[in-house]
Amino acid sequence: MEVNWAQVLFNSAVTGSLYLIGAVGLTLTYGLSGFPNFAHAEFITLGAFMGYWVAEQLGLGLPLALVVAFLVTGIVSFLCYRGIFQPLAKRGASIIHLMVGSIALGFILRHSIGAAWTWRPLYFTAAWSAFDIGPVRISGLWLWLIFTAIALSVIMHFVLVKTKIGKAIRASASNPELALASGINVDRVIWITWFIGAGLAAIAGIFRGADTQIWPMTGWDIILPIFAVVILGGIGNYYGAIAAAFIIGLAENIGVVGLIALGLSTTYRIGIAFLILIVTLIVKPQGLAMLFRRA
Amino acid sequence: MDPLLYVLDLVVFIGIFGIVALSLNLEFGFAGLANFGKVAFFLIGGYTYALLSQVGVPFYLCLIAGALVSAIFGLLISLPALRLRADYLAIAVLAFGEILRLIVKSEDWIAGGDWGVSVSPAISLMGASHRVDALVNIGLVYFCLFICFLVVQLLANSPYGRAMRAIREDEVAAEALGKDRARYKAQALMLGSAMAGVAGGLYVQYLHCVLPGMFMPMITFTVWIMVLLGGPANNWGVLLGAGLVELFDRGANIAKDYLVLPIDPSSLQYILFGALIIFVLLYRPQGLLKESPIKTKALEAARYGRSAVKSDRS
């Protein structure tokens, strides 16, 4: 069987970009608040539906849809943190209680979305031009996705290293008490991170929705590889997440080639992320964090 | 529909999910483990039962085999995560459940893929009505529930169970006293998975079929509600929780036929479940029934002096 490796490489960049945008918020909030927010999947879904609402139902176009989805999902995430997780943490809830709370929140959001829209798959109608560069088939959507991921990486890098809020985020993540003692308003830092993280998840949701379909499980469908990215990259480690997103993107796309060669169903591509997750836990639970000490 | 049969059916469901809730109570309530993939072990028990009963293995062996296979998987999947923090185990097990459902869904040769296969009931009497069938199932399910309850209850109040609770409260302190925390946790997960496996077997033989749609993540979540609502580390509380959640579920199903709501009732039910759990976590994290304090002769002697213990003996 002839494998088009250039295409595999390009697809890996597309997959990795999606996972990166989806995982940044999860890894940052996980590092700051100290628990994995399983409702992050629903922030992705909510973003996809907000995007659909603005772009298709109101007909206002995709750029505005991205902005509205970012803001609305960010605000919902902020309110959820203020209303549920912050009170829980203040009452001394254990990490297990926080995780259960996030799963409960996920159910509320998912089924609210299902009731407000529909459980049937929805599609963006915008058609994306596809063209060939050499042997590689490229669609405009995928180029935008890769462009967004690169832009996000660069912007987030400057935010984390140069700006006051970025430094405050890193300080609060590595040592909350010391950050508090240094005059950083740690609560506000956490709110801002929850807002931005969910906003980025919303953008990932729109891209995923435009690439495949939108339904209330859109986020849940890709939460497993996103968790693999977070764990492999090292919890709370932004640069680790960038590396991990592309490693998992590459592994998935090479894995699909392998699955086809073995005659297995390609739905197992999600199993590859699971395998990486388990191997990381066995071999190096800190993930790639040791390679990127600074953030 | 026959109202009596409806009640009997409810009783069977409470029994089956009572077993799963007890197993989660062992893992979460006593050992402090976040098993977010409970449904995976329920699924393993169910599919093991279905596959073995197809080749004519008697039902009790199918149930035991389901328990064993489930226990082995419980050990295997938890090993990489047990020495790490609670969240790693939660993510690993949750992912495991999703992968497992994916496998039985896409591999038609295992048990019919998406459409599943039919499973013969454990005990089928000649010419029995549905009511008698349900009664027979109640007997079988509550027998298993009784055994599981006894095991968890005895374990929890034994020195072994106290060590488990000590690890839950403070891993480092327990380790300093020579308790191997990873071993205790692995054993709790194995036993819990075995019980969930039995429940899975009972579930598929009662419903006469097995298909991937029966093992959605919602099952895990429902069982968590039962444990958290009823009272973690209190076996009676957990059974109470199982009863209340199943009653609520049925109530919502009946109300669906009579109420006209602007929102889809099954969605509303999930939303209410989610809200309920957040409410419980915020305002009553110990659940309806609290964990009972540990009772031993030594503790009583320390509390009330030696005379109290002596008079107790005489």
**pLDDT 10s digits, B246-294:** 998 888 777 777 777 777 777 888 888 899 899 999 888 888 888 777 7
Among residues of chain B, what percentage have pLDDT more than 90?
A: 26
Among A38, A96, A267, beta carbon nearest to B102: A267
- Residue A139 has what pLDDT? 84
Model pLDDT, residue B308? 53
Domains defined for chain B, CATH in brackets:
3-313 (1.10.3470)
Helix (H) or strand (E) holding A139: strand A136-139
Single-letter residue type at A150? I
Identity of the residue in B34, B81, B106 whose CB atom sits nearest the CB atom of A281: B81
Place of tokens 């009596």: B4
The nearest CA of chain A is from the CA of B85 a distance in Å of 9
Reduce the DSSP state of residue A114 to 3 states and report it: helix
Give yes or no for a contact between A103 and B296, defined as CB atoms under 8 angstroms apart.
Answer: no
pLDDT at A295: 46
Mutation target for B interface from A224, A281, A282, A284: give the one with most B CBs within 10 A.
A281
Cα gap A8→A16, rounded to integer Å? 12
For residue B117, give the 3-state DSSP assignment: strand
Report yes or no: B236 at the A interface, CB cutoff 8 Å. Answer: no
**Strand B117-118 with B209-210, pairing:** antiparallel
**Which token pair is B293?**
């304090």
The H or E element containing residue B198 is helix B181-207
| C-alpha separations of B30 from A43, B94, B182, B194, B290 in Å | 33, 20, 14, 16, 13
Most confident of B156-165, B233-242, B247-256: B233-242
Q: HSE, CB side, 13 Å, CA atoms: give it for residue B244.
A: 19
Residue A179 exposure: Cα atoms within 13 Å on the Cβ side: 21
Q: What is the pTM of this model?
A: 0.88
Residue range B117-129, pLDDT digits in tens: 887 777 777 677 7
Residue of A nearest to B169 (CA): A94
> Residues B128-148: pLDDT tens digits?
778 888 888 888 899 999 999
**φ, ψ for residue B260 (rounded to 5)?**
-105, 110
In angstroms, rounded to a whole number, what is the distance separating the alpha carbons of residues B93 and B77?
7
Region for residue A69 given its phi and psi (left: phi exceeds 0; alpha: psi -120 to 50; beta: otherwise)? alpha
Token pair belonging to A33: 């608040």
Q: Does an H or E element contain A25, and which? A: helix A5-33
How sure is the predictor about B314, in pLDDT bands with cuts at 50, 70 and 90?
very low
Q: Is B34 an interface residue toward A (CB < 8 Å)? A: yes
Closest CA to B187 of B213, B155, B214, B232: B155
In this complex, is the C-beta atom of B120 within 8 Å of any C-beta atom belonging to chain A?
A: no
Residues of A with CB under 8 A from a CB of B: 35-36, 38, 84, 87-88, 91, 93-97, 99-101, 103-108, 110-112, 114-115, 224, 227, 231, 265, 267-268, 270-271, 274, 277-278, 281-282, 285
**Chain B residues within 8 A of A224 when measuring between CB atoms:** 95, 98
Tokens of A206: 């729109």
pLDDT of residue B311: 52
- Which residues is B83 bridged to in the sheet? none
Gap between the Cα atoms of A269 and A273, Å rounded: 7
Distance CA A52, CA A56 (A): 5
Residue A230: Cβ within 10 Å count: 31
Please tell me the distance from the alpha carbon of residue A281 to that of residue B78, in angstroms, as a whole number: 11
Strand, helix or coil at A84? helix
Asked if the Cβ–Cβ distance from A36 to B91 is below 8 Å, we say yes
Mutation site for A-interface testing, chosen from B27, B30, B76, B99 by largest number of A Cβ within 10 Å: B99
| Per-residue confidence (pLDDT) for residue B79, from 0 to 100 | 82
Interacting residues of B314 by C-beta distance below 8 A, sequence separation 6+: none
**What is Dmax (Cα atoms) for chain B?**
69
Residue-averaged pLDDT of chain B:
85
Which portions of chain A are predicted below pLDDT 50? 295
Chain B closest-CA separation from residue A107 CA (Å): 6
Q: Which residue has the tokens 């979540």?
A: B221
Per-residue model confidence as pLDDT tens digits over B83-129: 777 888 888 888 888 888 888 888 777 777 778 788 777 777 767 77
The overall longest dimension of chain A from CA atoms, in Å, is: 62
pLDDT at A201 (0 to 100): 94
What pLDDT does A1 receive?
A: 61
pLDDT of B198? 94
Question: What is the spatial distance between Cα A44 and Cα A198, in angstroms, rounded to a whole number?
Answer: 8
Task: For residue A33, give the nearest of A74, A90, A79 by alpha carbon.
Answer: A90
CB-based contact (8 Å) between B262 and chain A? Answer: no
Other C-beta atoms closer than 10 Å to the C-beta of A13 total 18
Amino acid at B76: L
∠ CA B126-B130-B134, nearest 5°, is 100
Ramachandran sector of residue B231 (left: φ over 0; alpha: ψ -120 to 50; beta: rest) = left
Q: Chain B residues with CB inside 8 Å of A281's CB?
A: 80-81, 84, 88, 92
CA distance A56 to chain B (A): 23
> Quick one: pLDDT at residue B307?
58
B274 vs A105, A265, A274: nearest CB: A105
